[in-house]
Structure 1
Amino acid sequence: MHKYTVLAVDDGPHNLQLVASILSPFYRLLLAGNGEKVMEVCIEKQPDLILLDIVLPGISGYELAEQIKAEPQTRHIPIIFLTVHTDEEAIDRAFQAGGVDYITKPFKAKELLARVKTQLDLHTAEKRLREAIDLVPYRLFAKDREGKFILANQATADFYGKKVEELLNQIEPPLPKGWKYQVTRNLKDPMHQIPGTVHTYEERLTMPDCQMWYFQTSKVAFTFSGSHLPAMLEIAIDVTEQKKREEEIQELNDQILAHSQYKDKLLSLVAHDLITYVFNTDMTLQLLLRKIDNLSKDEITKRLVKVQKNTDATQKLLSDLIAWSKTQFKSMTYTPVIVYIRDEFQNLSQQTDLLCQTKGVCLISKAPSDLQVVADIAMLRTILRNLLSNALKFSKEGDTIVLQAREKEGKILISVTDQGTGISGELLELLRKGNKEHMTTFGTQGEKGSGLGLSLIKAFIEMHGGGLEIESEQGKGSVFTFSLSAVTQNQFAHKA
């Protein structure tokens, strides 16, 4: 069984002998007749309790007690004063010096044993409490009305970069330079609330490198035992990882919602648009096969043109569906190369030549032969194809569409201008805000799009670091403009 160590300091040999005779059966004793080596013994032997005479040769018991309490390695040791003085002033001085109790001489054996046992039990309980709160991995502390720490665990000391002893009876030290501590959810001052009521709120610590830590802090007001002095007990739990998980869950929920909307859109397109194109193609071919012997060459050509239109529309829809699906699941890879924009305009003109002739629309392209841009070639072609397809869709016979590229302030501005039906002011505002990206309307000859074009265009342009601008007036046509990076001398040396 563990034996407590008691250090008795008294210049009277008889008193030391009496103390030893009473306590030695129960405790391990250290005896000192003066205060010369008491500090050295306390640091080396770490007694569990000190019995200290007030009157000592060369130094008073008060002064020696103050030295013991000033030393971090010994300040935790409880001191019981031995004194012949019973006046109030002497007793007050004893407690001010750090004493926890006193015994008047001559003392009785039962009293000495009782007081020593009581203080050792209290000290042991306090030590166990100290060890328990230091095991708490979160900041646990209490402050008095003046804001001074009256309790702090090791996690609290570590937070401020100090020792527990350095915090006690001190105002909260300033945070290191660059640290910013904020309450993200304000509550009333709990110090003025009903004692025992717990108030919980969130705090955020921002570090100089902008890294953020979140804490869930609970406060409860209480009063010191036997007094009416208010105090505040607080525990600050690090919830940074929980906060990150919550953000990840929210992001996942957003993705699930977006994917659900994506699924609904995809099913709608497959179930309606794609099936419609295939059905129309099939019906036209069946009609053609049944009546081919009775049809003139012009009538056959007319029906074949219809089949070609449906086939082209189906191919475009499938292409857009694949590209749009990749953007939804962030699996589209951006691979920039150097592109001669005039070459892309010419390729696009050739691909749409038949459609332009069919609708009676004139297509003009304007771009310097040496004008280069930095772009993902597949994405750029999808952007241009969709913008031109949209312009053709809303153009009338005799209208002109202009593809133009020009350099401005280190950027290449590419625009598609048409003289078609234009967009109403209300719808234009919705398009600019992104609220009608999946909307589709019929063209001048009943053409119907997938509703994916604008969404796809915006996604691809944003991957290039640009944005889409739309200018339009109902009945007067539209201008769609986007920007790409111009080629610099330090960029890639290979041509798409």
Structure 2
Amino acid sequence: MENYSNLDAEEFRILIVEDAPENIDILIGVLSNYNLIISKTGEKALKLMAGDAQPDLVLLDIELPNISGYSVCNQIRQNKEYDDIPIVFLTSKTDRESILKGFETGGQDYITKPFDTKELLARVKTHIELKKNKEQLKNVNRWLENKVAQRTEELKGANNELIRVNSELEKLNKELINLDKEKAEFLSIISHEIRTPLNGLIGFLDIIKSSIDDEKILEYFNYIDISTSRLEKFALLALQMTQLKVKNLKLDKLELNLNDIILGFTNSKFGEELSQKKISTNFDFSPQDMVVYVDESLFHQCISCVYENAISYTNEGSTIEIRGFLKDNYSCIEFVDEGPGFSEKALNNLFKPFIPGIKHVDENMGLDLAVVNLIIEEHGGKIEIENQDKKGALVRLLLPAKEAG
């Protein structure tokens, strides 16, 4: 952009159109600091205007030979290229009609004869400055328009790229969804293919075990029984985890009494194991008839996994505390054991399946806790796990509370 702030007067060109020699001499003397071009006729002035060196200001006498200053001004204004060149009339006519005619033909101002040098200099300087500022503003606007056009093109390119990337992401997302579905279907088939022979194997193992008298052989068969049970459990957990991740399970929520569920597990499923390890259980439910709004099958699996984990890592003769209470719009269920607690590595990888070398998940490669976490999240809740200050671990399940009835 051009900067006029340091320009000298001589760098501005003024076209003087005047036929009286004495007036020309006065104008040359007063405006000597400017670059002056003199024309004594309107015809010559129009030719000069059509040349390469266009003026920054025209001082135009109204009374010229052959062609009047009004006519010259009118012809200049017919060319759009000269719109920004100010025209100031030089006139001895001060009547209202003459002045208005000058403005109507396209003049910006007038200076009366005889000239007042201070007024002449002031008027010239004002119009030069106005033209300079107008040109500067036009240049700024042109620069801004170019910048806007450039930025618009950049944004257009960026937008096209964004559209392309979004299209690719949408395509990849569809492929991922299809892949998840295929994975779920594949695991379902694999699970079925594993469970079918396993069920037959487990059934035959029970039959064979009932007919064996040799204790050593029976011990071997017990090991096989344990291995097949673990394999069956692993297949079920892997399938369920995949179904939960791809949202392939529909929740059938019911209002269930938490106290009844916990007592059911304590007295039936884990009763024998609790008795063998001489583990006592303390229950604390507030309210006593605390209700949870859950999918019964999935919630039973959560309680089973967490309860079984607490039993497995609680030392013989110790105590497991199970608490139920309402807090911050959550139904909270806590299992507190007196085992060794979780290692730091285990705490950092609690819900990541297949993390090797972590003691608390070596039995099932971490699938139990991963599935519990997914089930709780599917219910809109969360799971929190921490070590106790003295010994043992605390597992807290938080489910959105819902009043019974």
Q: Which of 237, 240, 247 lines up with 1:323 in the alignment? A: 240
- CA-CA distance at 1:480 after TM superposition: 0.9
Matched position secondary structure for 1:421: coil
1:413 equivalent in alignment to 2:332: yes
Distance 1:259 1:282 in 2: 32
Map Cα deviations across residues 200-221 of structure 1 (whole Å, 9 max, x no partner). Answer: 644xxxxxxxxxxxxx348xxx
Could you say if the C-alpha distance between residues 145 and 244 of structure 1 is closer, same or farther in structure 2, counting changes exceeding 3 Å? farther
1:422 equivalent in alignment to 2:334: no
Distance 2:182 2:367 in 1: 16
- Is 1:421–1:475's contact at 8 Å kept on the other side of the alignment? no
- CA-CA distance at 1:481 after TM superposition: 0.6
Q: Which of 168, 171, 194 lines up with 1:246 in the alignment? A: 168
Q: Which of 263, 270, 277 lines up with 1:346 in the alignment? A: 263
1:391 equivalent in alignment to 2:307: no
Partner of 2:112: none
Could you say if the C-alpha distance between residues 285 and 239 of structure 1 is closer, same or farther in structure 2, counting changes exceeding 3 Å? same
Q: Which has the larger radius of gyration?
A: 2
Matched position secondary structure for 1:332: coil
Q: Which of 462, 466, 486 lines up with 2:381 in the alignment? A: 466
Partner of 1:103: none
Could you say if the C-alpha distance between residues 448 and 259 of structure 1 is closer, same or farther in structure 2, counting changes exceeding 3 Å? farther
- Is 1:375–1:485's contact at 8 Å kept on the other side of the alignment? no
Q: Percent of pairs identical after alignment?
A: 17
Matched position secondary structure for 1:449: coil
Could you say if the C-alpha distance between residues 283 and 400 of structure 1 is closer, same or farther in structure 2, counting changes exceeding 3 Å? farther
Q: Which of 459, 464, 476 lines up with 2:391 in the alignment? A: 476
Map Cα deviations across residues 393-428 of structure 1 (whole Å, 9 max, x no partner). Answer: 323322322222111233211111112221122431
Question: Which runs of 5 or more structure 2 residues have no equivalent in the other structure?
Answer: 1-67, 84-137
1:381 equivalent in alignment to 2:300: yes
Could you say if the C-alpha distance between residues 480 and 415 of structure 1 is closer, same or farther in structure 2, counting changes exceeding 3 Å? same
- Is 1:442–1:449's contact at 8 Å kept on the other side of the alignment? no
Could you say if the C-alpha distance between residues 200 and 394 of structure 1 is closer, same or farther in structure 2, counting changes exceeding 3 Å? farther
- CA-CA distance at 1:450 after TM superposition: 4.5
Partner of 1:335: 252
Could you say if the C-alpha distance between residues 420 and 438 of structure 1 is closer, same or farther in structure 2, counting changes exceeding 3 Å? same
Specify which structure has the higher proportion of helix: 2
Partner of 1:366: 284
Question: Where do residues 262-341 of structure 1 align in structure 2 (5 Å cutoff)?
Answer: 288=209, 292-295=212-215, 309-310=226-227, 312-341=229-258
Bigger relative contact order, structure 1 or 2, given CA contacts below 8 A and separation 6+?
Answer: 2
Distance 1:400 1:305 in 2: 29
Could you say if the C-alpha distance between residues 292 and 430 of structure 1 is closer, same or farther in structure 2, counting changes exceeding 3 Å? closer
Matched position secondary structure for 2:354: coil
AA at the equivalent of 2:264: N
- Is 2:382–2:399's contact at 8 Å kept on the other side of the alignment? no
AA at the equivalent of 1:451: G
Distance 1:239 1:406 in 2: 53
Matched position secondary structure for 1:457: helix
Once superposed, what is the RMSD of the aligned Cα atoms?
A: 5.1
AA at the equivalent of 2:341: G
Number of positions where the alignment pairs a residue of Structure 1 with one of Structure 2:
281
- Is 1:374–1:487's contact at 8 Å kept on the other side of the alignment? yes
- CA-CA distance at 1:327 after TM superposition: 1.1
Question: Where do residues 124-139 of structure 1 align in structure 2 (5 Å cutoff)?
Answer: none
Matched position secondary structure for 2:331: strand
Map Cα deviations across residues 294-326 of structure 1 (whole Å, 9 max, x no partner). Answer: 449xx95x6776566456534433432332121
242-251 vs 327-336, greater mean Cα deviation: 242-251
Partner of 2:73: 89
Map Cα deviations across residues 135-194 of structure 1 (whole Å, 9 max, x no partner). Answer: xxxxxxxxx854579xxxxxxxxxxxxxxxxxxxxx99xxxxxxxxxxxxxxxxx749xx
AA at the equivalent of 2:284: K
Map Cα deviations across residues 23-50 of structure 1 (whole Å, 9 max, x no partner). Answer: xxxxxxxxxxxxxxxxxxxxxxxxxxxx
AA at the equivalent of 1:93: R
TM-score with structure 2 setting the length: 0.53
- Is 2:195–2:232's contact at 8 Å kept on the other side of the alignment? no
Question: Where do residues 209-220 of structure 1 align in structure 2 (5 Å cutoff)?
Answer: 216-217=156-157
Specify which structure has the higher proportion of strand: 1
Question: Which runs of 5 or more structure 1 residues have no equivalent in the other structure?
Answer: 1-83, 100-143, 150-170, 173-189, 203-215, 219-236
